[in-house]
Amino acid sequence: MSNILANRYEFMFLVEANGCNPNGDPDMGNLPRQDEDTELGYITDVALKRRIRNYIQDAYGKDANMQILMQKGVSINEKIAEGTLAVNEITTFPKNFVNTKVSETEAYMTNRYWDVRAFGGVLSTGRNAGQVRGAVQLTGSNFSIDPIQPKSITVTRMCYTDGGDYSTLDEYKAADQKLSDDKKRTMGTKQFVPYGLYLVRGSVSACLAQKNGFTEEDLDKLFEAIIQMYNHDISSSKQGMSVVGPLIIFQHVGTQAQENREQNEKEAMLGCAPAHKLFELLTVKKKENILFPRKYDDYDVSLNVSSVPNCVRVGFKSYPFEPVEWYDANNESQYESLDISLR
């Protein structure tokens, strides 16, 4: 594959939850996840990667090298076996077969499955295709800016299930006639937060991209999926979810310019500024006199572009199919439409 990623990246974006459940906790009756000490809400990396995978599958699933391995109801062992058969050029496994081409099978899997290149995977089960560390990593728990207030409401369903196993439709009707009207309704609960604004951080390793074959095109698809993912995950519990403001992207470009090309390429690949220092350049806080924020505009969001080191360039992406706008201090007027302020 061409255009293998050669630069390290950091990125971050804000996710808005408006009257919905951003990430339910099955151990807490599906209430929105919340840190019990700070009362901040959080969204796991697993939840985000699931939605990114879903978008890639919907948008590019017909492409041979854009398949998604981690899908609902899919046997990973079957896919590993499929790759092992292809690499070993056989159609069935002989008795006591041992895969001696693990690295080749791993390469087959990374070439075929976008999410393996991006997020990695444990492929050592079954016929064994090794283990892949993903080039893309998201923060495990992505916290809200302010404490959230999870709510649980009771809802009524105007139909019922009685668990009966009848032989004829007349028997179903007879059982229905025996029930009073109040028995023909069922009660349930729905969980949501009135509002929450969550900050998500991520990194892309060029070193791992070189091993996995993660390309510039794969990175473009990642950024596209991030912006689009909640538009393609519409349900009653996720209707109020959206990525707000621009996707903020830091690209490491090195300190040497053309003076020492080899050293510069090494710096760009390894990264030439600490990730946490770049993430700290973003400030998100409630506006004065706002007690309970209920929309993105209730916050002041600013990025300290003047403190971005010279070895890193910062860009913005607001729309899925448009290129990244790389910041140019000499033309700040072009960023007036961004939903954040630059300082």
Q: Which two tokens stand for residue 129?
A: 């295709």
At residue 256 the predicted structure's pLDDT band, cuts being 50, 70 and 90, is: confident
CA distance 340 to 343: 10
Domain ranges of the chain: 9-147+191-342, 152-190
Q: What is the mean pLDDT of residues 24-38?
A: 94
Q: Give the mean model confidence (pLDDT) for residues 281-286.
A: 97
What pTM does this model have?
A: 0.91
* Tally of CB atoms within 10 A around 289: 6
pLDDT digits (tens, 9 = 90+) for 75-104: 999 999 999 999 999 999 999 999 999 999
**Beta-bridge partners for 190:** 153
Instruction: Give me the pLDDT at residue 2, please.
Output: 64
